Each structure stands twice: as C-alpha cells, then as structure tokens.
Amino acid sequence: MSHYDLTKLRAMAQGNEAFVQRMIGVFLEHTPEQVRQITEYFHNHNLPKVSALAHKIKPSIDLMGIEELKTVIREIELKAKENQEDDLPSLIDRLNTIINLVFKDISKELAA
C-alpha cells in the first residue's frame, strides 16, 4: 500500500511528466526540513512558527495525495494557531511517521 497518490498531480500536469518529476523533486528536497523544523519549533514552544510551517506544507501534502496527513496537517496548523499544545505531540509524531513512509515509498518507486 502506497502512502501517497499522484493522481491529482498528474491531472494538474496534463501529461507533462517532467513537471510531475520536478514537483516530486521539490517535495523531496524541502519537506523533510520543513517537518524537522515543525518538530523543533514545537519543542521550543514557538507555536506561531509551527502553524505557519504547517500552513506552508499543506498544499504539498494535498498535491502528493497523502490522504493520511490531510487532516493531521490542518489540525497541527489550527491547534498551534490557537495555542492548544495538548494534541500536538501525537499529531507531530504522526506527521513524522507518515512523511518517512512516503519518502521510503517514493524512493522505492524512483529506484524501480
């Protein structure tokens, strides 16, 4: 089972596979650092930065068809914005876990 679905991205690309590959590359290049920063900002109690970064990566998660994170990333953004720290550790753990699985899936697919 794949943790992502490129259907939406491919539809947007209208057959331009170079565009699809470029978008995957951008996702692979920037998302790990952004997720790492969300975790770091949370541990430093900088919730405005957590919310801003969650907002920033939301479109990438949607475009990459990572269904398991669509709600999670929105909850992180909202709870951080409203200074509701209680649920954030489990949500951020979930974000890290799923992103790591997505990267493994994409790496396997690109290597095939």
How do the pLDDT tens digits run along the chain, 112 residues long? Answer: 789 999 999 999 999 999 999 999 999 999 999 999 999 999 999 999 999 999 999 999 999 999 999 999 999 999 999 999 999 999 999 999 999 999 999 988 877 6
pLDDT of residue 4: 95
pLDDT of residue 110: 77
What are the residue ranges spanned by the domains of the chain?
Answer: 7-111
Cα 64 to Cα 82: distance, rounded to the nearest angstrom: 27
Tokens 């952004």, residue located: 34
Does domain 7-111 fall under CATH 1.10.3210? My reply is no
Cα 89 to Cα 72: distance, rounded to the nearest angstrom: 12
Which tokens is 92 given? 């951020």
